[in-house]
Structure 1
Amino acid sequence: MDSGICARPSQGWSRAGHPCTLQGVAGDARMSDRRFLAANGRVARRDLKGIVDADLFTDGKVYSLAETAWLLHSPGGRAVRQLTFGDRFVELDREGGWSFGYSSKDGYVGHVESACLDRAFRPTHRVAVRSTFALANASIQALPVRDLHLNSEVRVTERSGAWCRITSRDRMYVPAAHLAELDSGDGDVVGWARVMLGTPYVWAGNSGFGIDCSGLVQAAFHAAGLECPPDSDLQEAMPGERLSATDALNAGDLVFWNGHVAIAGGEGTLIHANAHHMSVVEEPTETAAARIAATDTGSVTSRLRPTRVTRLWHGP
């Protein structure tokens, strides 16, 4: 268990530590940061009226992800972030099989294939293992029909023995042993980061099939029941104790470089998803720091002992 002080509730932070209405995204960032600017020239989120030009301002419609999908900068374009089953997506516009909107979990704006969206449900449980499958029947011999990942949110409608039936447009069952109650959390950021060891490195990935550095940090914090924004620059701006280069790192502290972040594992190690190993690894802090310093990324920019803030799971 990592040490730290819990606070409740949280709505997220900006670099100045201001609260926001989307988890991890400050109100000012939603207006100026393209990652969070929910407008496409034709349609915009209602709170942007008078700030951006659009033909229509709307609150949008909330959906739940029916499968793992990529949030893209434009239809068929570069990846912004990966969404997993149960993530909520607020659709502002739909055209040509693509939905424009934002992830209600962290405010990221982009396009997702409309076929990946399903009627919104209120979750009751979350996945508490790196990855699992939802099966067509309550049997180990049943066909897998969906992949689920750490922190994927589900609504359990029935439990029978070792299986839970979950809400979906398809009849699906998940091993009960792979689920935890939605609001549970043990605070063990390092333990959850270690669950992801060996996961392939994938830019913008956020699943057990592939994850990036900031995705790992967010996943570990969320699994531990703690708030955490989505990108390393926002994570570096979280409130907490700023550590000097000579301060000892505790398990769960964060170490930052330009565009990279790692979790202190305790006893002189770091856990991070990185493009050198192309996976999530735990390695000696000095080894990682020396190797990274020899690249264009450069030396460590800061070290942080984040203030612990209990995660509020139920989104819009």
Structure 2
Amino acid sequence: MASHSPHPKPKQRSLAGTTARTAALLALTGAASATLLGGTGYAENRPTPAQVKAKVDRYQREAEEATEKYNGAKTTADKAREAYDDLRDEAARRTARLNAARNALGAFATAQYRSGTVAPTLQLALSSSPDQYLRRASLADRAGDRQAATIASIGRQKGKLRTLRGEAADRLHQMRASQAAAARHKKAVQKKLAAADRLLDRLTREQRQRLEARETRPERPAARTTTHHPAPATTRAARAVSFAYTALGQPYVWGATGPHGYDCSGLTQAAWRAAGVSLPRTTYTQINAGHRISRAELAPGDLVFFYSGISHVGLYIGNGRMIHAPHPGAPVRMASITDMPFAGAARPA
């Protein structure tokens, strides 16, 4: 019986060889990806600290613009609420007086009815349409007794009450519109600050620490005692400057006016409030407080404004420097007025 030769065994694929080829393929793919990404791998595709700082500065500036709009809308809403409350209280007082007059007239009418001597004019006044009576000037002209005067007074009070209620409704509408605007600006602030935080998160820990160290490093207040330090324009200006120095190191808190945090216009408002001067709440209203001055006329205590939208303000302290609340993450500190685009200056009265 013939013997059969065994079937040839299939060749075993070398695991080591396959792994080597896969590794080589991955290496080539990685090299190609790195080339397409500008010579860096994914892990190193990070923005530089300078790029991050530039974008963060822009987001923070936009957040500050939204903050000033929020401050303005909130101030308008608060004033509208105060006016609405005052009008509502006045309407309540007038309603009480109107009801008292009506009750007095009703008591007199009751007495007249019981005695059977109700005057025709009074009968008309107590009809379903007292206003129709008041519109008849001929009757009003002939009414010379106290009851006719009371009826005329009731008509006037009703007219004033309608006017007050209309004004109160207008104030309520204004308040609600301003509150809605403030809410929109608040959301815009939070969105910009969140975008800045996301950019900062893309830095390495060391890069972020170095950047934050530069932002929070306090400046030594040596300029205050220099022999070349110019004198404030007024005693009140000196008090405002003194207050600003005490605020150095306080945190930036958007929408805050102290004492434990400030935004830029909140700091200048608080400084001048300490000097007995009431400034408006926002940068774009503070620039119209007092009178405008040129850059060459600057004296300590003056307000200095920056950017085309008048979105930042500081308190000038002399020698080309100011104290200001820069932005979230940076405390109240001194800085040069050349650090930002100069937009104007004002000297509070």
Same fold per superposition (TM over 0.5):
no
Give the TM-score normalised by the residue count of structure 1.
0.38
Give the TM-score normalised by the residue count of structure 2.
0.35
Rg larger for = 2
Bigger strand fraction: 1
Bigger helix fraction: 2
